[in-house]
């Protein structure tokens, strides 16, 4: 079955109404961050006050399946050894000198509950963000345990609550919930389905990706994570082989792309093959290595006739930039879903 892209659907009110729930969920991202910060404010303040009186932990262990986001933020910054442990349980060496951090937005994962129980048994300091009345919440009790209550089930909003705590006890960078929420609100406004595609960056990006297999690249640690998450969304919404990777992994794909034949029959099967598109997530990193890799990718794309699109952000803080890039790309992925039609 052939699939084609109808850009007129992106401004069709009737079509957009059928995906209103998904788009509304994206638009409420900032509100979820604010709500989580408000709900956890008292517990966070209490934990911060207690954390300032305690000795700095020997190491920070981010446990559970959502630990990779914390790693992307904390690994370059944390002043003590940091370990992300998405596997069941905890590292064998973890003990009373260490801080175990757990994100459990839903709170019903048996592996997360087991890890929290093990951390309590070993006497570690434990900070858990989860719904109080949940499987994980039931195991988060003890002298050295802090439970930060969550209500939305949103991974990013939950992570912002934990990162805000870690920033106040000098174990992580600033992650102000208000600035993250504001950045998400700005994206929701600029990418709203009610904005015409001529002034809507997400709709324009969806059109650019319509006949391509996207290659998504982010140079910094956080931008690279956003690239991986965005590639997952693109695969889910389009069914295409969108990939994310380091520059060294994407360069061979770009260099293997043949130049487009201007005289090829546009109706032949070969001419209809999807070409790659390089999507660069630019979080304004000033790392010279990141800038060098970006230059290599863009130069290779120019040599091989590969289109390049860039997602940018004006957010100030690292976490806000990550959230802004990811939400912008996710909007584009949803509009790509809307525009693709089975013939």
The 10s digit of each residue's pLDDT in 244-283 is 999 999 999 999 998 876 656 555 544 457 899 999 999 9
As a whole number of angstroms, the distance between CA 320 and CA 327 comes to 10
Per the CB < 8 A criterion, the answer to whether 184 and 323 are in contact is yes
Burial (CB count within 10 angstroms: exposed 0-12, middle 13-18, buried 19+), residue 199:
exposed
Pick 41-149's CATH classification: 3.40.50.740, 3.40.50.300, 3.40.50.10490, 3.10.560.10: 3.40.50.10490
- At 273, list the tokens: 């093959």
Q: What is the pLDDT of residue 271?
A: 43
- The CATH 3.40.50.10490 domain(s) of the chain lie at 3-28+180-342, 41-149
CATH architecture of 3-28+180-342: 3-Layer(aba) Sandwich (3.40)
- Residue found by looking up tokens 């965005």 in the block: 230
Burial (CB count within 10 angstroms: exposed 0-12, middle 13-18, buried 19+), residue 28:
middle
* Residues in a beta bridge with 149: 130
Q: What is the pLDDT of residue 55?
A: 81
As a whole number of angstroms, the distance between CA 127 and CA 218 comes to 30
Q: What share of the chain is helix, strand, coil (3-state, %, to 5)?
A: 50, 15, 35
pTM of the entire predicted model:
0.92
* Residues in a beta bridge with 214: 277
Average pLDDT over residues 121-138: 93
């Amino acid at each position: 079955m052939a699939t084609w892209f109808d850009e007129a659907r992106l401004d069709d009110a009737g079509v957009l109404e059928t995906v209103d729930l998904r788009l509304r969920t994206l638009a409420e991202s900032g509100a979820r961050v604010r709500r989580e910060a408000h709900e956890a404010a008292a517990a966070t303040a209490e934990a911060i006050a207690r954390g300032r009186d305690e000795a700095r932990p020997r190491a920070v262990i981010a446990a559970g399946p959502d630990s990779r986001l914390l790693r992307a933020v904390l690994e370059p910054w944390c002043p003590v050894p940091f370990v992300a442990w998405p596997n069941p349980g905890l590292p064998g060496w973890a003990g009373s000198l260490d801080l175990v951090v757990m994100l459990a937005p839903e709170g019903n994962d048996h592996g997360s509950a087991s890890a929290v129980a093990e951390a309590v048994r070993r006497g570690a300091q434990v900070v858990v963000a989860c719904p109080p009345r949940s499987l994980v919440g039931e195991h988060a009790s003890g002298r050295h345990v802090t439970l930060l209550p969550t209500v939305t089930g949103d991974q990013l909003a939950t992570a912002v609550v934990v990162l805000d705590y870690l920033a106040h006890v000098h174990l992580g960078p600033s992650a102000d919930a208000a600035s993250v929420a504001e950045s998400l609100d700005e994206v929701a406004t600029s990418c709203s389905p009610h904005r015409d595609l001529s002034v809507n960056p997400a709709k324009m990006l969806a059109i650019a990706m319509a006949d391509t297999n996207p290659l998504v690249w982010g140079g910094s640690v956080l931008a690279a994570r956003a690239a991986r998450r965005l590639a997952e969304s693109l695969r889910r919404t389009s069914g295409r082989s969108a990939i994310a990777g380091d520059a060294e992994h994407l360069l061979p794909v770009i260099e293997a792309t043949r130049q487009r034949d201007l005289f090829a029959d546009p109706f032949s099967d070969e001419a209809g093959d999807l070409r790659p598109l390089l999507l660069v997530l630019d979080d304004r990193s000033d790392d010279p290595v990141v800038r060098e890799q970006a230059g290599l990718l863009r130069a290779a794309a120019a040599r091989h006739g590969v289109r390049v699109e860039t997602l940018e952000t004006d957010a100030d803080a690292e976490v806000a930039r990550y959230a802004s890039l990811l939400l912008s790309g996710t909007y584009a992925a949803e509009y790509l879903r809307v525009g693709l039609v089975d013939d």
